[in-house]
A and B are shown apart, each in its own frame.
Chain A
């Protein structure tokens, strides 16, 4: 054991004497710090926006209270009030943007039709294969593997290029042990830098230093294990530093860029989903058509779905809030199938992407990190479902008052429903098994018995 520690210490010393080690680790740390700063800015902006929404809501209520100081039909209050529905960021959201990188957040909702309000921006790429912006997750998934490959690809081939290989091989007691000790020492340096980045993120972003936070780092490390195995196989199988470097970069480009993009394309083409904008336009079309249609006929469509309002009879021929909100509801109903299909397709895209990501450790690691950060597609869809529930709550409050032509007064605003902004708990953690398998798979190609190159050659 003492000999092993002694040798590890010397391998670390040898690694630190190389300028390339400092450059690689320095760049990784630098990228990590930049990612933390950018994540901090995004996080700060989101927190400020969250606070601003509350202020804007109060200002809005104050204006309406002034305008309708003596009371006004509930329809006016419902029309002009926008309710904040943003959820506060999950505690670890700053570590990995996940789907937030390309999905618009729904911050406000009004009493009008819900569908366009939810899907106005759409999610053109709901999959987790896109790598998103520069955040600590990106550093762990994209840059740390590159650092591992650059640090470890030449554990053997560098000796060959220096000419020191015969001397090393004639003195070392166990050649495979030497390769693994070197690789593990160099990998440990990369792991240490990722731990440092994570710690810096915890302090700079004021994240809770708890089990979930530790689990996030462990998951990121788990995602690096397949890369250690890949580096080992490349280092032993290929002879020259040029060959090992080319092999390493080829693997990195394939696993980090080509395969995720291919999966993205495949999933998009296999699960064709109507886009959010299409859904929004369809709903608005129905709405606009409603203005030109016979109001009573239009209202009857509403009553088919909502017989509880049948006792109020038909709407008047002129404008009424009852007809207006019913028309929104009818427009929502017209696209409800489309909306369900949209969500179902997003979910099935997510499921298919998750299954395919079993074969691409980069994607799977991203899936795990976004899941633990509370920024995966499931979290986003849960937020949208929460907004939909809140919209139902709004209707439950306003519709009886609007349909009975009641007046609301400023004092009534205290009783307006409010969205409970609770962070979404992460969904069930996907199994880390694929990453362990991905770490084991390359080792099938490791030459355990025969050492591939003649040491004196």
Chain B
């Protein structure tokens, strides 16, 4: 609204009230939907396996969930739900390249 200028008190109040002037339909409308509170990310959620999706459910997870297994520490550096590949158990998946197919070959780890 840079082409319009508030000239009286009411107009100036409206201008102060509206931070974003005109927003096209593509923009987010209304208040953001409430999202589930997942404390500390996926680290302490053990149902159904080790994480939930952003809506608190499981429909948004990789299917089967094993597809997502290795990404827990490749992109998250988050060793809580899987053995600590970085420091203590570097070989726990040495016999399992494709987790979906070979998950039975994953080593048991006893911390």
Is B truly associated with A? no
**A-contacting residues of B (Cβ < 8 Å)?**
none
